[in-house]
Structure 1
């Protein structure tokens, strides 16, 4: 790389322009004056003239082995976009490798069922000036054996609303079921919230320098990272101490690591994400914070959301790991586990589909608890396997000629329509106009 940047096309044009003016007797004291005089001419120069000097600049770059820089319409070079894309791919590969190492290490000695995992979710009023105005935050701890253990929840007052974003904040507060931020009230202590989160993550091993990763849905990764960055910047803390990973990557890796049969788990990571997005426990009562429960907005609560994520993972993984689920820990309190297990035993002997000609599903392949409430029709089929199939009889004969029952419409002529009168209304004068047209010809 040269110490000085190679000259561009305009520089060579200025050199040529300066020489032409010198021959004419016009002299300039410095290159700034030359640039001022040659600038308008360069902007209006025809393509053949510009190409001549662009070729000179290209040869100049080739001397230093510099690549030709191409830019997008937004002014970002393609090289920069490729670099950002490569960094994102490397970060994703590193994240997946870290998750696999955590899971495989604990699966080696069977400690995976006691390994604590941490979920995090945030609600934000809006995004203002590339910064999220966080309204609520929840961190939850769970493992396969014990289910949901505890959570740390905070309602956050971001303080003064940025100029021009009051309406966005109002809309966000109505959607979330939270009150508008009160600028007269004291702003939430981000330093204290950060300390609480760090203590919560390190409660199992306070002497450890590394904190466990935080898992969330892909669409919440950016907001959570920004929230952690806001708190760390106020506390002069390095935000690299936090690792924010995608929950679907953990779900996919975890269930495939503990499975014992080939028909268990997920063949693709996208299926794990699809199961999480189904949100089978979405309308479970009593799992949100008090504020959202009173406002009947439990679905929007960050505490309710992380619990539903945990229930979804536990509902799929616990049967595969052979763990007996407990209401309130592995599934919501209102789920009748005895009926669910009875139904699953019945599903074990269900006949396989004749078209696909495949074996019937195993107990582990039908591990989701929510299926017991969705597939009620299939349950009745299992209880009455010899029940006759219902047939459908048409309500009318298909060969019946309905056209003979239709009355033919009478033929209409001009005599059936009255002529327009030349009154004082909106159609004044139309009748006389029609006569002038002589429409009978």
Structure 2
């Protein structure tokens, strides 16, 4: 490659590719020429999406103009950051205008309850930071539902994914799974072909297409990054732009539907986006049974995290706030969850369902659901299982069972008592074998020479009476004819 070659999109991609591979431990001693001859680099460039290539070409265009200007602390172009910020603002404005136009036009024609919307929710295993200060979400499950205020949820496309966790992310994936959806990433019935899932999603959205444009997908702000990461994988698998599937905010749709319903009922109050977001987070139908998929029905405490259950609960929440004011009759199972009756006939059906759930608690041996001790059943089975030789050896080494007939023992003569063992006398410790000295006497170690205790005498000078001493120790010595001083005031009286 000539040294004076002007930068282009592929050159910038090769520079990014070289930095990324060198962080993994690879070395390109031949420089950019060796990177260009790398088959993996060329294959990745060929399979790159149109949007990603356009971004590299835009960066190359900025370099040709004399540089991209100022840089951020992470090395990004300030112009590129500003363009991305303006793009998000423009997208939010277009989304708001389009949703408002759809609801206003439907209210004008009187067919708002018949308009269909599509909800999408996605669970994930773990997140991964990208080079452009964004995060990638490794998907675990997603569900797409078709909804209208008149018919509720009419159809659902639900998919559990099978994926490989990269080295270093296993712990995070395991904790996320156990705390939420409890989906194993190596589930045999999971789908790992994104091109198949993308085609299924296109087929699901096809009836609502407007020309060549697929209908928008609505999701909550809380999981919008995870849904967009899933959409990016689906579009890249088909090598189509990311804008093929547009993701809008469900809170904005909820706001306009609620305001239209209040306007229909003659209510002046306004329903804001913050209030819609609060109602979706509150999730009043979170513990409603029977909304989850077949997998989560067999796992206790996971129904509220199931993607299929969540898209249904979103529909119930919107119907609860809009249907009555729009004159739509609320039906259980369509706009509200099914009622649970307590009569005898339905009680037997409920007990049979509970019995069936208890019998199928163990789903599949391939599912590595961990117990409360943190050890999966698959691990316990693999460690504790025995081979045929070990099992045969265990059976041959079994002990003979001794049968005791207590009736024969009652008729037999009593056995002679065993003689009691002679008591064992333990000598006292050596320090207690020497006789102790008399009380109120001085130890021999304090007697000068070999003087005995009986020969030792005490005098007044060595041990004066109480109240006479002055200062500490033995006190001041006095002569024999000197009068004895009295005790000081408040000190008591002399005792001699």
TM range (shorter): 0.5 to 0.7
Confirm or deny: 8 A CA contact 2:124 2:139 kept in the other structure. Answer: yes
Change (3 A) 1:90 1:73: same
The reply on whether 1:226 has 2:229 as its aligned counterpart is yes
Q: CA deviation at 1:76?
A: 4.1
Distance 1:262 1:78, change over 3 A: farther
Structure 1 residue 70: Cα displacement: 5.4
Match of 1:294 in 2: 298
* Corresponding residue SS for 2:207: coil
Which runs of 5 or more structure 1 residues have no equivalent in the other structure?
A: 5-65, 337-434, 436-441
Tell me how far apart the structure 1 counterparts of residues 143 and 68 of structure 2 sit (CA, whole Å): 48
Q: Is the 8 A contact 1:138 1:302 kept in 2?
A: yes
Contact 2:118/2:215 (CA < 8 Å) preserved in 1?
A: yes
Inter-CA distance 265–140: structure 2 relative to 1 (3 Å threshold): farther
Distance 2:333 2:270 in 1: 26
For these two proteins, the number of residue pairs brought into alignment is 273
Q: Using the alignment, how far apart are the partners of 1:184 and 1:305 within structure 2?
A: 24
Tell me how far apart the structure 2 counterparts of residues 184 and 140 of structure 1 sit (CA, whole Å).
24
* 1:116 equivalent in alignment to 2:116: yes
Asked if 1:236 corresponds to 2:239, the answer is yes
Change (3 A) 1:335 1:323: farther
Aligned residue in 2 for 1:217:
220
How far residue 286 of structure 1 moved from its aligned partner, in angstroms, is 0.9
Instruction: Give the drift of 1:238.
Output: 2.6
Pair 68,193 (structure 1): closer, same or farther in 2 beyond 3 Å: closer
Which of 174, 195, 198 does residue 194 from structure 1 map onto? Answer: 198
Deviation of the 1:84 alpha carbon: 2.7
TM-score, normalising length: structure 2: 0.51
1:304 deviation in Å? 0.9
Cα separation, 2, equivalents of 1:148 and 1:185: 25
After superposition, the Cα gap between the structure-2 partners of 1:110 and 1:187, relative to the gap in structure 1 and judged at 3 Å, is: closer
Task: Give CA-to-partner distance per residue, 1:42-84, whole Å, 9 cap, x none.
Answer: xxxxxxxxxxxxxxxxxxxxxxxx9996554434455544333
For residue 320 of structure 1, give the secondary structure of its aligned residue in structure 2. Answer: coil
Does the 8 Å contact 1:126/1:172 carry over to 2? yes
C-alpha distance 83-183 of structure 1, shift in aligned 2 (>3 A): same
Structure 1 Cα separation of the partners of residues 191 and 272 of structure 2: 44
- Alpha carbons 2:142, 2:307 under 8 Å: kept: yes
- Paired with 1:308 and 1:69, the residues of 2 have a C-alpha distance of 49
* Counterpart residue number, 2:207: 203
Counterpart CA distance in 2 for 1:89 and 1:70 is 22
Aligned-partner Cα distance in 2 for 1:184–1:330: 35
Unaligned stretches of 5+ residues in structure 2: 1-5, 7-65, 131-135, 342-471, 473-496
TM-score normalised by the chain length of structure 1 = 0.57
Matches of 1:156 and 1:184, distance apart in 2: 9
Distance (Å, rounded) in 1 between the aligned partners of 2:269 and 2:244: 32
Q: Equivalent residue for 2:314?
A: 309
1:9-158 mapped onto 2 (5 Å cutoff): 71-76=71-76, 78-130=78-130, 131-158=136-163
CA–CA distance in structure 2, aligned partners of residues 216 and 276 of structure 1: 11
* Rounded Cα–Cα distance in structure 2 between residues aligned with 1:325 and 1:198: 31
Aligned to 1:278: 282
- Show the counterpart of 2:383: none
Please say which of residues 218-227 and 263-272 is displaced more in the overlay. 263-272
Find the structure with the greater CA-based Rg: 2
